A = this chain, B = another copy of it.
Amino acid sequence: MSDYRGYEGSSLEFLKNNQIKIGDSVKILTDITYSGIIMPRYEHSDDQHIVLKLKSGYNVGIEISKIEKIEKEQIIEKTSEQTEEISKIEGLPKILLLSTGGTIASKVDYRTGAVTPVLTAQELNSSVPELSKIANIDAEVLLAEYSENIMPENWLEIANKIKEYEKSDYTGIIVAHGTDTMHYTSSFLSFALAGFPIPIVLVGSQRSSDRASSDAALNLIGATKFITETKTKGVYIVMHQDESDNTIACHIGTRVRKNHTSKRGAFQTIGDYPAFIIAENQIQKNMSKEFYSSNQFEPKINLDTKVALVKYYPGYNPKLLEQIIDSGYKGIIFEGTGLGHVGKVMYDSIKKAHEKGIFLGMTSQCIDGRVRMTVYESGRDLLNLGIIPLENMIPEVALVKAMWTIGNYQNSEEIKKIMLQNIASELSE
């Protein structure tokens, strides 16, 4: 089955009839002649195309009805020693590319058809030949995980690795990362490495590399241009702005969310324009403040995972909150409704949590806008119960910040103070 993974109907029949399977090197004649490797397909897609990985590293989808001839070519086995070295041009800025996995770093095993996030950073680099004209890129594999499996422990690993390059000659650091939890990782790096002297840019792709429309290359080029041309401190996420290949958005790493499951422009800055837009080789800046509130780099690479995110909804049973309280949690971030409310039914448990010294922060499941707990009775009640309103901090960012704050500060007054202090642009006007 793995010989034809993802192919069905006409395209499956076409491959079988021509005795071609996934991983075969082929030459295809249409009005153009293509040489490349047959790739598996992963999404439910039409059965009219086959996907070919070209030697440039790009994929193309070829309509089977337009194929005049397809023939197998001899497979040239590459050993790992043969990895092509990208030639470096003297004088270009130096960038470090760390790969943690994700779709952007996915590699197809041509024998089994399985996709695993283990493309070496070197391969990632060489798959986008344009990069070598903009910067000299050193590449390193740090992790090989899809981002739903990136854990807080991995955030520490990434931060500690980046910290090593505080005093390097790199102009910036690119972190290739899965998109699912990229904004959680960017938030942690923003707090843990506050003040880091060079830009840190997370970049991913929404389309797996077996698809002709992969956005990986353009996002990588955008990240590289952003670093070399702006040299702006901070932690950013660089991805397509929308479905077009013309515009790349550069988001503040603590003000961004993945707001669509599949679109290329899935990432959005909440409540504002992206910090930078790269369109037709022009970089437009919309960011009016420094990313970090302090220029001093004093890394604090610790965290405590005993923080829970609790989304309130009608019917939420306060017993679930009690279970969190009784499990030794040190912080709870509420995703309340509207301006920062939860039902009265929660009050007794919240009181108990406060008495236990648990940090209680309020954000809103509206996601956009500011919590304001002085407007209504419910909000004032909750303030009296000891809940701290976290302004317009995005719930996920508040969660990560609380893990980081509680991991680095002990005193409860200090934790409150830090949670409300704007450290890495997590609060905005």
| A residues apposed to B, CB below 8 Å | 42-44, 103, 114-116, 146-152, 155, 178-181, 184-185, 208, 257-263, 266, 305, 307-309, 311-317, 319-320, 323-324, 327, 335-345, 364-372, 374-378, 396, 399, 403
Cβ–Cβ contact B155 & A314, under 8 A: yes
The 7 closest A-B pairs by CB, nearest first: A261-B369, A180-B337, A180-B338, A148-B341, A260-B369, A305-B315, A152-B315
Residue from B178, B263, B368 in contact with A260 in the complex, judged by beta carbons closer than 8 Å: B368
Cβ–Cβ contact A179 & B338, under 8 A: yes
Q: A43-B375, A308-B320, A341-B148 given as contacts; is B313 within 8 A of A396 (CB)?
A: yes
Residue from B146, B257, B364 in contact with A376 in the complex, judged by beta carbons closer than 8 Å: B146
Cβ–Cβ contact B184 & A314, under 8 A: yes
A309: chain B residues at CB < 8 Å are: 311, 313, 316
Cβ–Cβ contact A259 & B327, under 8 A: no
CA distance A179 to B375 in the complex (A): 14
A367: chain B residues at CB < 8 Å are: 259
Cβ–Cβ contact A337 & B371, under 8 A: no
Residue of B nearest to A147 (CB): B337
Residue from B149, B261, B375 in contact with A344 in the complex, judged by beta carbons closer than 8 Å: B149
A266: chain B residues at CB < 8 Å are: 366, 369
CA distance A367 to B366 in the complex (A): 11
CA distance A341 to B117 in the complex (A): 15
A selection of 14 A-B contacts at a CB cut-off of 8 Å is A147-B337, A148-B337, A148-B342, A148-B343, A151-B315, A178-B338, A180-B337, A181-B313, A261-B370, A308-B317, A311-B311, A313-B399, A320-B323, A320-B327
CA distance A261 to B364 in the complex (A): 7
CB distance from A43 to the nearest CB of B (A): 5
A185: chain B residues at CB < 8 Å are: 314
Cβ–Cβ contact A366 & B258, under 8 A: yes
CB distance from A272 to the nearest CB of B (A): 13
Cβ–Cβ contact A149 & B315, under 8 A: no
CA distance A115 to B260 in the complex (A): 39
Q: Point out which of A178, A308, A313, A368 has the most chain B C-beta atoms below 10 A from its C-beta.
A: A313
Q: A184-B314, A338-B148 given as contacts; is B320 within 8 A of A115 (CB)?
A: no
A375: chain B residues at CB < 8 Å are: 42-43, 208
A337: chain B residues at CB < 8 Å are: 147-148, 180-181, 258
CB distance from A260 to the nearest CB of B (A): 4
Q: Point out which of A263, A316, A343, A399 has the most chain B C-beta atoms below 10 A from its C-beta.
A: A343
CA distance A302 to B338 in the complex (A): 27
Residue of B nearest to A323 (CB): B323
